[in-house]
Amino acid sequence: MKHNFTVRQSALDGVETVLAVARHKSFRKAATELGVSPSAVSQAVRTLEARVGAALFLRTTRSVGLTEAGERFLLRAKPAFEELVAASQAARDLGQKPAGLLRITAPRAAVPILLEPLIASFCRTYPQVELEIAASEQLVDLAAAGFDAGIRMGELIAPDMVALRLSPPLRFLVVGSPDYLRNQKRPERIADLSGHACLRMRRSNGAIAPWSFLQGNKAVEAMVSGPFIASDFAVLLGAAVRGTGLAQVPEPIAAAAIKGGKLVPLLESFAAMTPGMFLYYPRHPQMPPKLRAFIDHVKRYSQVRGAKRRS
């Protein structure tokens, strides 16, 4: 059986031919296996022998045998070549069907809202794919950090990435617990926040994020202050529920706590809008099947979820 394995102008040139001759102890039979002429086999062997600097075969009109140099070459080259062929096949398999490790980076708060409903069904559908979710607010270079894709707010995604919508545009809400508001006057205007304990987010670049609002048609940023800083929305939300202060978080993250009466939305008429959450990934001339499978699964899930919302 002929192996489709070629490395141009390298130490591997002629190795497959030498192994075939050694296996059959015949130049003619090796030529038949490889699908080339006997003269081409002879030339490939001579070229490799010249490069190695030693004769590898003893040739007579009746038989072909290995020299001592040929025996040593075969001992080392055969397992190495077989391993290279196996490596080539393994890579080819990953390029043809959904399999292997699929790594996705996502904000912690997005995992229970966007990913948990998807994870179980995806893993059942594609059991040969190992799905790893790295939950972090850190904005990473996907390729450098070894991720296949990421999930982030639309405004945080680089323009050279392909983005697939996971959520509709959403509001950023200011929320506070009933316990906190029992002792504080509810803010009615953006300027009223100066008298409140405001819980803040530290971005991955080290800067503390201002709070964003929409006043009429104008975007407004407010520099607030307070007793607590965190690096992800889930921690801020928990602190707000415990009455530490007010927090500004994406509406879906706070929805359950608001519905349960643990948090109260504030300044809703000034709520800023964001493009929403997106799955993003680099452009691929040949997209890995495992990533294509995940993208298609997300699209199917989004269609089903949208149909349920409309019904």
Which residues of the chain form beta strands (DSSP E)? 57-59, 64-66, 100-106, 129-135, 149-153, 162-165, 170-176, 198-201, 211-215, 218-222, 229-230, 246-250, 264-266, 272-274, 277-281
Say whether 259 sits in a helix, a strand or coil.
helix
Structural domain ending residue among the three candidates 39, 62, 94 = 94
pLDDT value at 5 more than 50: no
Structural domain ending residue among the three candidates 65, 94, 123 = 94
CATH of the domain at 156: 3.40.190.10
Residues 158 and 205 occupy one common structural domain: no
Say whether 273 sits in a helix, a strand or coil.
strand
Q: What percent of the chain has pLDDT over 90?
A: 41
Residue 4 lies in a domain: no
pLDDT value at 311 more than 70: no
Residues 159 and 224 occupy one common structural domain: no
- Residues spanned by the domain of 252: 170-274
Asked if residue 36 lies in contact with residue 51, where contact means CB atoms within 8 angstroms, the answer is: no
Task: Read off the pLDDT of residues 83-140 as tens digits, 9 standing for 90 and up.
Answer: 777 766 666 655 568 888 999 999 888 888 778 778 888 998 899 999 999 988 788 8
**Residue 34: pLDDT band by 50, 70, 90 thresholds?**
confident
d(CA 36, CA 44): 11
The pLDDT of residue 13: 73
Structural domain ending residue among the three candidates 94, 112, 128 = 94
Number of domains in the chain: 3
β-strand partners of 135: 106
The pLDDT of residue 7: 38
Residue 280 Cα distances to 94, 111, 117, 163, angstroms: 21, 15, 18, 4
Count of C-beta atoms within a 10 Å radius of residue 282: 15
Residue 212 lies in a domain: yes
The pLDDT of residue 304: 63
Task: Read off the pLDDT of residues 145-203 as tens digits, 9 standing for 90 and up.
Answer: 999 999 998 888 889 999 999 888 999 999 999 999 998 999 999 999 998 999 999 98
Find the mean pLDDT for residues 273-293. 89
pLDDT value at 227 more than 50: yes
The pLDDT of residue 94: 54
